[in-house]
Amino acid sequence: MLNQVIKTAKEAGQKILEFYDTEIEVITKDDDSPLTKADLAAHHIIVDALKEIDPETPVISEESGIPDYQERKDWNKFWLVDPLDGTKEFIKKNGEFTVNIALIENEKPVLGVVYVPAFDVMYYGEESIGSYKKEGERSAQKLNSPEFKAPGSAKIVVSRSHGDDTTAKKLKTLNIEVSEEVPSGSSIKFCLVAEGKADLYPRLGPTMEWDTAAADAVYRFSTNNGVKFSPLKYNKKTMKNPYFLLGINEYIDVENL
């Protein structure tokens, strides 16, 4: 099934690129976030494919709306999709946008595929095989990066669209000194931690479950020994994530720093 999901993510990414070199028309959604024809085209490709690959399992996509909690609260398994994560980066044409497809079981991602179409880079992870990065036609490389242990000096990923100067100050209260900031867009930030290009991803701002699920799987399984700790849970009532600190092997309440 993983190979079919990888193929689907690539198909959706190639469709997105058809819009990338044109004048991008932007619609503003009710929550003030941007929407483009590329989002919707990728959404239809992915949802249609998942219905064929796994017809018994429900699908939630950012562009399909959130089913009522009473309907989904007892779901043990569902697909969670962001057809175009990083729409702002897509509009800016900086390449840092992704296709995210995750399978959630019992509040955790058990499979995740993150495709970066502008650079033809595929990240994928599943507990039984671990996590991998595949660049173009090159062979896939297994990801195995250590978890950060405080106190210490850390290279952190920061959002290219939502960065501010308070993160380093807040991390300092945890005895973590920021040695370098690595700006990035979309769910690529998780993947940079998974492949060891950064130590931590502190997110002190809002995200939704579909923003993080697929890349969270890539991070969790980017080890040769068990599963890494992630503070995130899925299928919550609002589907909003709390603020979080990814890359460290313990839960830290960063909302109250």
CA of residue 91 relative to chain centroid, distance: 18
- Cα separation, 254 vs 46, in Å, equals 34
190, 217 contact by CB (below 8 A): no
Over residues 210-215, mean pLDDT: 98
Whether the per-residue pLDDT at 120 is higher than 80: the answer is yes
What pLDDT score was predicted for residue 31?
Answer: 64
Please name the fold of domain 2-143: Fructose-1,6-Bisphosphatase; Chain A, domain 1 (3.30.540)
Distances (CA, A) of 122 to 71, 158, 186, 214: 33, 21, 14, 12
* 186-200 confidence digits (pLDDT tens): 999 999 999 999 999
Of 70 and 88, more confident: 70
What pLDDT score was predicted for residue 25?
Answer: 76
What pLDDT score was predicted for residue 47?
Answer: 98
* 28-81 confidence digits (pLDDT tens): 776 667 778 899 999 999 999 999 999 999 999 999 889 999 999 999 999 999
210 membership: H or E segment, kind and range: helix 209-220
Over residues 108-112, mean pLDDT: 98
Considering the entire predicted model, what is its pTM?
A: 0.95
> Among the listed ranges 21-25, 160-164, 171-175, which one has the minimum average pLDDT value?
160-164
What pLDDT score was predicted for residue 35?
Answer: 77
Distances (CA, A) of 93 to 80, 96, 129, 238: 25, 8, 34, 31
Where in the chain do CATH 3.30.540.10 domains reside? Answer: 2-143
Q: What is the mean pLDDT of the chain?
A: 93
CATH code reported for the domain at 152-256: 3.40.190.80
Over residues 2-28, mean pLDDT: 91
Where in the chain do CATH 3.40.190.80 domains reside? Answer: 152-256
The pLDDT confidence band at residue 88, using thresholds 50, 70 and 90, is confident
Percentage above 70 pLDDT, the chain: 97
Task: Please report, as a single letter, which amino acid is at residue 139.
Answer: S
- Cα separation, 177 vs 169, in Å, equals 9
Whether the per-residue pLDDT at 133 is higher than 90: the answer is yes
Whether the per-residue pLDDT at 163 is higher than 60: the answer is no
